[in-house]
Structure 1
Amino acid sequence: MTASIPGASIRNMGKSTFQPNTEPKAFFEIRVGVYCTEAQAQRLVDEIRLLLCPDSEHNDPCPIPWTTAHWGLDRPEAAANYPALVEQVRIEQGGDQI
């Protein structure tokens, strides 16, 4: 299953079999491409952290495993993962300003 809109996508990474329950769990990758300042990105990550793990004081490991990644637009990872977003910013910012 793959769903996408410009700058965001969800990918089913395969069924998980390690925790049986009534609703099967799966690994999902949720990507959101955002062009913003580092401070804005950190605030966004903090908000996502609260959605995924509302109890920041719990003992490790987190009951909902998760991770984030951040890249500058000049990094190859940005162009590889968000080519449309990188191109949009290049056009709107006048080409060589990023």
Structure 2
Amino acid sequence: MKNGKTVIADRGYDMNNILELIKEHQAIAVIPSRKHRKIQRKCDWWLYKKRHLVECLFNKLKHYRRLALVTINLPVHLWAFYHWPLFCYG
């Protein structure tokens, strides 16, 4: 991690050891506090909402991974994959 960077994560990463590691690397943690914490940390919600863009990107990559894996296989499988809806609904 380079100095001056920001780590954006969801509430699942709100653990003291992770927060200390981020602090050791002189980065800013944008992680909302869990509800069970007695002292709630401040969170830059505007910056936290930008995390949604990265989540959408990974979701699309996972979705299209299936297409990428199919194209590696034999052309017969590729043909069947694309024409399967025609046989089922058609």
TM-score by length of 2: 0.29
Higher helix share: 2
- Per the normalisation by structure 1, the TM-score is 0.27
Structure with a larger share of its residues in strand: 1
